[in-house]
Chain A
């Protein structure tokens, strides 16, 4: 009988990074449980985390490289695949220029280290681009936080007195925040959930406020307006640490109770209650904008204004507020501007703020560039895409266009664990080693700790590092990948911190690299330093970066979706997509049999009164049609006013009812270029 061994590692079934105990028998993962010693999740994990033991052992896991031929996919040896891919990349670069080929990083096998590696790879081969799904998830908030604070602060739910959740459902998205908030509640914390739909988070909220889709920021401004009028702003803090408060004050004036109620559906007395709760919490407030507010046509502004609620009471870098986190020094894998590239990054000229903070190209514009051979009217051949563990056919706005674009590439390579819908379009499919088959460095911002997401099994499959290094070597860029394996990569990364790989191994439940301490901006000010890492050193309510690029400096909500201003007769319902379900992560895990049995299909969630108007009963099939496309899907009726009227929520990631056949890639946030996934008109027919 084989011995069973337990290893500590980090879960990669979603992006939260829970600590796990992985039991391995005969080089096979047999059980995954929560690691009790890990301070992040304290022994508790979600069903996705433990289901890794099934998912990673599924017989459908890709084991052999595949090449597409006239007769479909055929298996070929890995070395042959790598040689052929590299040769084709070289040919495309020689024919069309270096900008014609680039890599796109997905999230199936790793965290930030894989992102850094892909960025490094792209630059090493001379590409000006780097792609990832952050084009439509995360980047808007990244920019919002960086515009406001010059960094991404962390919410201290464990010690807060008031948590405000804007369009976010942490039980599904960051499971351990639920524990954190409950710990805070043990100490007297309260919470407010503002959403278009009752969710798990709302179950423990003191106040649940339903808003109309796309109107969150109008409510946020309504709150700020009343905070100002009632003197619930920490004036001394605002005077010392912020820039542009007076402009915000003037802009906020238009958000009267009457106007806010008209747009959001929220009554003035509810706003008073919210302001009362903010007032009672002092400086211990966390106002957290979720993906719900960023997936909109005003995504960056929405996220900025929601996040300013706590800044106005001075809840920044205080216990129970928003931590300005520090971390140990590391070497970045990202190559600098001294390594030359050819051509312009796709999206940079249109969304310069994204480039300013994130140096990331725009995937929606990539699809147009592939299809037209032009970027902003200029010739731009883009012919080859190397994609690791991403599934844009399920997740990218406008699926039909995505499929058309990816299918028309001269070289499309997908490296993944399974033959996804996206992989089916590829010329080469390379099986990926899973996260538990290679080491990665993982950081947690709130704990300010570092972890070794440790390798626990040997898989005879290529890791992402080996893949990218293998291609770079063949393309004459091998000097940028001098490390033999992931361990050496990690050793290089942590070298400036003074910690060693052995230290990480010795503390598999996390190593606190920098102890959390607060009031750093006050300390910096006293020392004559810049309190915040923004250009002016202040919290930029009025952003100098935005002004530099010709945008209004304060978060303006100028482009409210037409459909919330007046009913569109042709498309009378408002569709929202992107809400996560607990057992799934975006396009993934529909192939885990036990989970699929419990959650077998997509649903269009709608208000019972709307269902009644349409003559629909639970489970009835409907056809949902937007300006872009149409899908067929069963109805789920939300009772007890748990969803906004006229709103329909469809979670993405289902092959047979793919919500992204409905989403419009051209309706975008002016700053980040995010597609509007939360407020697009649809019509509904009963089938």
Chain B
């Protein structure tokens, strides 16, 4: 199973992911309110982290949606909102424990990450390498990678 993983300590807060997502989804703007990934930059505490949907195994948003607008894509495992079915009630926004669903005030529907059909645009714009789209364990955690021996270049 592939998922977007976040290595917080690598994030520089450049917001390329936000801009890329907003444009990919809207095709007209890079404004953050149209993005499914959001960077929280706590400048005073020196902490910055991008947040996007985890596509939870037990997705509360999906259970909660009264319009049955939220389904799981069998191919990518993404939890997806169908905007044509979405009634704009915001129950999913309330039910997501991580704040990863957002509201589009123009079209009056909720929106969230859909993994771009398996080619997440945020990841390919993450210039720091903090975001990766990779195979993860069933717990959603990154596989432990053997640390490569230091290259002996010099």
Q: By the criterion CB–CB under 8 Å, are A187 and B150 in contact?
A: yes
Q: By the criterion CB–CB under 8 Å, are B128 and A182 in contact?
A: yes
- The winner among A319, A516, A642 for most chain B CB atoms within 10 A is A319
Q: By the criterion CB–CB under 8 Å, are A171 and B128 in contact?
A: yes
7 extra interface residue pairs, beta carbon distance < 8 Å, beyond A33-B124, A159-B154, A203-B13: A34-B124, A41-B127, A42-B129, A45-B125, A178-B127, A318-B154, A597-B29
Chain A: interface residue total (CB-CB under 8 A) = 46
Q: By the criterion CB–CB under 8 Å, are B20 and A597 in contact?
A: no
Least Cβ–Cβ distance between A96 and chain B, in angstroms: 49
Q: In the docked arrangement, what's the CA distance between A320 and B153, Å? A: 9
Given A44-B127, A45-B125, A182-B130; A203-B23 close (CB under 8 Å): no
Residues of A within 8 A of B123 (CB): 44
Residues of B within 8 A of A44 (CB): 123-127, 129
Q: By the criterion CB–CB under 8 Å, are B127 and A203 in contact?
A: no
Contact partner, B20, options A50, A204, A640, A642, Cβ 8 Å: A50
Q: By the criterion CB–CB under 8 Å, are A642 and B43 in contact?
A: yes
Q: In chain B, residues 11-68, which have Cβ atoms closer than 8 Å to a Cβ of chain A?
A: 11-16, 19-20, 22-23, 26, 28-32, 41, 43-44, 46, 48
- Chain A residues with CB under 8 Å of chain B are 33-34, 41-47, 50-51, 159, 171-172, 175-176, 178-179, 182-183, 185, 187, 198, 200-201, 203-204, 208, 318-320, 516-519, 582-583, 593-595, 597-599, 639-640, 642
B9 an interface residue at 8 Å Cβ cutoff? yes
Residues of A within 8 A of B121 (CB): 50
Given A203-B13, A204-B12, A594-B28; A179-B129 close (CB under 8 Å): yes
Given A200-B13, A598-B31, A598-B32; A50-B125 close (CB under 8 Å): yes
29 contacts between A and B (CB under 8 A): A44-B123, A44-B125, A45-B127, A50-B20, A50-B23, A51-B23, A159-B153, A171-B12, A175-B16, A178-B12, A179-B128, A182-B10, A200-B13, A203-B46, A204-B10, A208-B46, A319-B151, A319-B154, A518-B153, A518-B154, A519-B154, A582-B16, A593-B28, A594-B22, A594-B28, A595-B30, A597-B30, A598-B19, A598-B31
Cβ-closest chain B residue relative to A640: B44
Residues of B within 8 A of A599 (CB): 30
Q: By the criterion CB–CB under 8 Å, are A640 and B43 in contact?
A: yes
Cβ-closest chain B residue relative to A515: B153
Tier of interface size on chain B: 35 or more
Q: In the docked arrangement, what's the CA distance between A518 and B10, Å? A: 28
Q: By the criterion CB–CB under 8 Å, are B151 and A175 in contact?
A: no
Residues of A within 8 A of B9 (CB): 185, 204
Q: By the criterion CB–CB under 8 Å, are B14 and A172 in contact?
A: yes
Given A594-B28, A598-B22; A200-B124 close (CB under 8 Å): no
Cβ-closest chain A residue relative to B27: A594
Cβ-closest chain A residue relative to B47: A203
Given A185-B10, A204-B12, A594-B29; A47-B124 close (CB under 8 Å): no
Q: In the docked arrangement, what's the CA distance between A183 and B16, Å? A: 19
Contact partner, A46, options B31, B44, B127, B153, Cβ 8 Å: B127
Residues of A within 8 A of B153 (CB): 159, 319, 516-518
- The winner among A45, A178, A319, A642 for most chain B CB atoms within 10 A is A178
Binding site secondary structure of chain B: loop
Residues of B within 8 A of A198 (CB): 43
Q: By the criterion CB–CB under 8 Å, are B151 and A159 in contact?
A: yes
Residues of A within 8 A of B32 (CB): 598
Can you list, as one digit per residue, whether each of B88-131 has a CB less than 8 Å from chain A (1) or not (0)?
00000000000000000000000000000000010111111110
Least Cβ–Cβ distance between B82 and chain A, in angstroms: 24
Q: In the docked arrangement, what's the CA distance between A303 and B16, Å? A: 30
Q: Which 3 A-B pairs have the closest CB atoms?
A: A319-B154, A598-B30, A175-B127
Cβ-closest chain A residue relative to B13: A203
Q: In the docked arrangement, what's the CA distance between A481 and B118, Å? A: 48
Cβ-closest chain B residue relative to A172: B14
Least Cβ–Cβ distance between B93 and chain A, in angstroms: 22
Given A50-B125, A159-B153, A593-B28; A203-B16 close (CB under 8 Å): no
Residues of B within 8 A of A519 (CB): 154
Q: In the docked arrangement, what's the CA distance between A45 and B126, Å? A: 7
Q: In the docked arrangement, what's the CA distance between A200 and B125, Å? A: 15
Residues of B within 8 A of A518 (CB): 153-154
Residues of A within 8 A of B154 (CB): 159, 318-320, 518-519
Q: In the docked arrangement, what's the CA distance between A198 and B41, Å? A: 12
Residues of B within 8 A of A43 (CB): 124
Cβ-closest chain B residue relative to A49: B125
Given A518-B154, A598-B19; A582-B28 close (CB under 8 Å): no
Q: In the docked arrangement, what's the CA distance between A640 and B46, Å? A: 10
Least Cβ–Cβ distance between B79 and chain A, in angstroms: 24
Residues of A within 8 A of B15 (CB): 582
Cβ-closest chain A residue relative to B18: A598
Residues of B within 8 A of A639 (CB): 43-44
Residues of B within 8 A of A597 (CB): 28-31
Q: In the docked arrangement, what's the CA distance between A198 and B11, Å? A: 15
Q: In the docked arrangement, what's the CA distance between A599 and B32, Å? A: 10
Residues of A within 8 A of B128 (CB): 171, 178-179, 182, 204
Cβ-closest chain B residue relative to A47: B19
Q: In the docked arrangement, what's the CA distance between A183 and B148, Å? A: 11
Residues of B within 8 A of A50 (CB): 20, 23, 121, 125
Cβ-closest chain B residue relative to A41: B127
Q: By the criterion CB–CB under 8 Å, are A182 and B29 in contact?
A: no
Residues of A within 8 A of B130 (CB): 182
